[in-house]
Each structure stands twice: as C-alpha cells, then as structure tokens.
Amino acid sequence: MTTSTTVPPSPVPLSPTDTFWADADRHLVRYAGSGEFTRKIIDHAAGSFLFTEDGDRILDFTSGQMSAILGHSHPEIVATVRRQVGSLDHLYSGMLSRPVVDLARRLSETLPAPLEKALLLTTGAESNEAAIRMAKLVTGRHEIVSFARSWHGMTQAAASATYSAGRKGYGPAAPGNFAIPAPNSYRPDFTTADGELDWRRQLDFGFDLIDAQSVGSLAACIVEPILSSGGVIEPPVGYLAALQGKCRERGMLLILDEAQTGLCRTGNWYAFERDGVVPDILTLSKTLGAGLPLAAVLTSADIEQEAHDRGFLFFTTHVADPLVAAVGNTVLDVLARDRIDERATELGKFLRRGLDSIAERHPVVGDVRGRGLLAGLELVVDQETKTGSDELGALVTRRCLELGLHMNIVQLPGMGGVFRIAPPLTATEDELSLGLSILDEAIGDASAQFGL
C-alpha cells in the first residue's frame, strides 16, 4: 500500500520593498505618537524634491523637518561636509577649532546688541534645555512660562515647557512650569467689541494666573515668535514687546525659540526683528544646519558672565563640533550672498497669493496665515462654527502624497487641521506653483468625498 505525502508549498519570497517594511515594522520604535511612517522608501533628495526607490518624485513642502532651508543636497553644503569630514569632524568637548569660533562671531554679527555670546549644540531641544538651564542659574529661580500651544523639544526641561503634545503618561513634569494662552487671532478667546482678539486682556489674564500660582521664583518665559507645531499661530504686532514688559516687571528673562523662524524664513533674518524686541536669550537650530544637526544659544556678555561665575555646566559630547560648525558657516555664506531674506519675502508673497486663491475656491479653508515662507492653512468643515475634522485633514494629506506633494498637518484639540507649509528658501516660483496646484486638487478631491 502506497501513502502519499502532501508537500507544503514553499513560501513566496517577499519583494525587496515588502522586506523593507517588514523589517521596519519589526525593528523600529515608532516615535511619532499615534502617527505612522510615510509608506515611501526615500532613496535620495535634491533641491526641493525627494525621490523614492520606485522612481516617484515628491515635492517637499516641509524642508525635511522644517530644516533644509537651502534645499536638499545643496552643492556648497555637500562640498563643505566632504572637505571638513576629511580634516576635522569631532573633538574633545573642551577643545576649539576655527569653524566654531568663526560661526560664533558671525552669528553675533547678524544679531542686535547685546547678543554676542554663542554656545553651539546639536538640536533644538538641546539648545532650549541649555537656555532654560542658564536662565535658572542666572536668576537663581526655577519657574518657566510658555505658550499653551508650544513645542520646545522632548528633553526634560524643554518637554516640560511644551504643551501642544506629549504631556500625558510620562509622570511629573519639571516643577514650576506654567502655560499662558496662545494669541490665536482666528480662534480668539478674549475678544474686543468687534469680535477681534483682545490680546492685551488675554496677556493680562494669563499673567494674573501666573502670579497667583507662582511661589515667587519666576525665572524665564520661553516662546516661539510664530508657534509652528501649535498651528502656525503668529502673535499680533506689539504682543512680544508687551510680553517682554511682563517679564521685566517680574525679573524674568525672555527666551525666544527661533528653531523654525530664524535665518530668513520669515523674510527677516530673525522673526523677532519685526517686533522691535531683543530677547535675553535666543535659541536657533533646524535652519542653522540646513538639515544637519546644529543648534545655538546666543545671549549677552553680562548674562554669560553671570552664568560662568555661577559655574554654568552644559558639557555634552557634541558641543562645539567642527564639522557642523563649518556647515553653519556655509549656510551664512549662502544666506548673505544670495540675499535669501529678500527672496523669502518675495516668494512668501507669491505663496500667500496662491493660498488665498485656494481659500477663495474651497469653503473648507477657514484661514490662511503666517509670514514669509512659513505659512499655515487651516481646514474646517463649517466656516461659521470653525469646526475641524481630523479625517478631512488626513484625507487631504494622503491625496497630496499620491499626487506628489509632501505636506505636514497639525491636528490639535479645539483646532481644525492646520497645514504647515515651509518649502526650502531656495524653491522657485514654478515649484511653489506646482505645490499649490497639487494642494488645490487634493482639497477639491477630499471636499467632494465629504460632500462639501
């Protein structure tokens, strides 16, 4: 008697793409909260475009992580990295090199007095951490005030001053952190008789609450001149000066976080220039390295001296690294030579006209705001109530990617989906027109699906 044995079929081998995503899903920690990785394998990038392994071309309307202000693979940045990495890339943290001292001097030359002392670091969170640490040491106090829609980073002090996301489930924040309302002109909480944002009354109310909660140890206020992760919220003209006045009255330092707004993105070298204020401490990151990890803290000689006298310690592995400092010098070269501030102003006007035109055609666009080449477009399903929809925003985002445009949307409670639009400052009008055309089509397609 013969018995037959059934041989199980051989498993079908995975394609290289499927293998990639299987490895990613199995081995990578997901770090974006509830968000998922974009299901595209990026192979290379150049200028304003990303290119996938499948040959797709994607227009980058976020400058990477809001950082690649000179576009991707800028030839002068590439040349600097190749040259510098072959001679001097990293040092013992107590040693100095020419690129570091040159960058510190040159940054001070772009800033108003008395900002002339620089500490070169790697990330925005790290620079904000150092700034807060310095403020606490110099004032001898520990309480920190920031906006309720803020994002300053994911390290301890920076995260404790961050209120737009990431606070739940991690245990106590650093003691003495307080939030004040963000001055959102589109969604005003304090209003004048004509329904406009009454930011003066809002600011007074915010500091009345701070004064009631403070134990008498107010050290600093840290804010972004334009709240990017908070939904591209721009404080009205006069707000920052009034905020600085509140700080002065209480002996607090004012820290401005210009991670995304610094170095020409808004049309000025620094966003605070519009308001005629000079912060006690300025933090830079993202744009300073044009996509590479470089950040800076800048302050006055008096504050630096006081910090030094009190033993200021911020000794990290990559403080004052020569490789990224050399890149920072090249960034300053290009910004100054090519008048990128003027370019951002003109391109910003072009972008705004295009976004305003989209708003006129699509009732789901509730508001267009921002400055220079940092723009926000807020989606709502009802113009009267300003009701938002996470589903609508996600649908527009997916459709944009299908059509070849990478967009980032901020979705926070109490707000509609807000697209953060921050293309490279080297983008052309044709590239901006392409992005606007795709966004227009995506909003139209998504609105039709919603029956709007």
Domain endpoint, select from 284, 306, 337: 337
Checking if the pLDDT of 67 tops 60, the result is yes
* Mean local confidence (pLDDT), 349-369: 98
pLDDT at site 11: 73
Of 353 and 411, which is predicted with more confidence?
Answer: 353
Residues 99 and 60 in one domain: no
- CATH assignment of the domain containing 83: 3.40.640.10
Marked catalytic residue, from 143, 151, 275, 341: 151
Residues 188 and 299 in one domain: yes
pLDDT band with cut points at 50, 70 and 90 for residue 12:
confident
How far, rounded to the nearest angstrom, does the alpha carbon of residue 212 sit from its chain's CA centroid? 31
Integer angstrom CA distances of residue 361 from 172, 404, 447, 451, 452: 47, 21, 11, 15, 12
How does pLDDT run across 31-49, given as a tens digit for each residue? 998 888 999 999 999 999 9
Residues 256 and 329 in one domain: yes
**247 DSSP β-pair partners:** none
Residues 312 and 362 in one domain: no
Residues 319 and 220 in one domain: yes
pLDDT at site 2: 55
Q: Is 158 a member of any domain?
A: yes
Q: Per the structure, how many domains does the chain have?
A: 2
Give yes or no: 199 in active site.
no
Q: Is 180 a member of any domain?
A: yes
- Rounded to the nearest integer, the mean pLDDT of the chain is 96
pLDDT at site 412: 83
| Residue written as token pair 């090199």 | 97
User: Six-digit token pair at 245?
Assistant: 């006045």
User: Six-digit token pair at 80?
Assistant: 């600097």
* Mean local confidence (pLDDT), 79-86: 98
Integer angstrom CA distances of residue 82 from 37, 120, 123, 359: 30, 21, 22, 45
Residues 299 and 387 in one domain: no
Q: Is 363 a member of any domain?
A: yes
Q: Is 229 a member of any domain?
A: yes
How does pLDDT run across 298-307, given as a tens digit for each residue? 999 999 999 9
How does pLDDT run across 211-249, given as a tens digit for each residue? 999 999 999 999 999 999 999 999 999 999 999 999 999
Give yes or no: 56 in active site.
no
**379 DSSP β-pair partners:** 365, 417
Domain endpoint, select from 337, 358, 390: 337
pLDDT at site 35: 83
Give yes or no: 151 in active site.
yes
Marked catalytic residue, from 149, 260, 275, 371: 260
Residues 395 and 442 in one domain: yes
Q: Is 144 a member of any domain?
A: yes
- CATH assignment of the domain containing 401: 3.90.1150.10
pTM: 0.96
- Using DSSP's 3-state secondary structure scheme, residue 246 falls into helix
Q: Is 23 a member of any domain?
A: no
Checking if the pLDDT of 4 tops 70, the result is no
**Domain of residue 343, residue span:** 37-66+339-450
Q: Is 26 a member of any domain?
A: no
* Mean local confidence (pLDDT), 146-162: 97
Q: Quick count: other Cβ atoms within 10 Å of Cβ 437?
A: 14
Checking if the pLDDT of 338 tops 60, the result is yes
Q: Is 24 a member of any domain?
A: no
Residues 286 and 153 in one domain: yes
Residues 260 and 372 in one domain: no
pLDDT at site 5: 64
Residues 326 and 343 in one domain: no
Type of residue found at 175: P
Contacts of residue 163, defined as CB under 8 A and 6 or more positions apart, other chains included, come to 146, 147, 148, 149, 150, 179
Peptide bond into 293 cis (omega under 30): no
Give yes or no: 286 in active site.
yes
Domain endpoint, select from 315, 337, 359: 337
DSSP string for 196-230: -B-HHHHHHHHHHHHHHH--S-EEEEEE-SSBTTT
Marked catalytic residue, from 126, 129, 234, 257: 257
How does pLDDT run across 107-144, given as a tens digit for each residue? 999 999 999 999 999 999 999 999 999 999 999 999 99
Integer angstrom CA distances of residue 184 from 234, 328, 393, 414: 7, 33, 20, 12
Residues 269 and 333 in one domain: yes
pLDDT at site 414: 77
pLDDT at site 1: 52
Checking if the pLDDT of 157 tops 70, the result is yes
pLDDT at site 415: 80
User: Six-digit token pair at 78?
Assistant: 């590439």
Give yes or no: 224 in active site.
yes
Quote the DSSP letter at residue 72.
Answer: B
pLDDT at site 34: 83
Residues 121 and 172 in one domain: yes
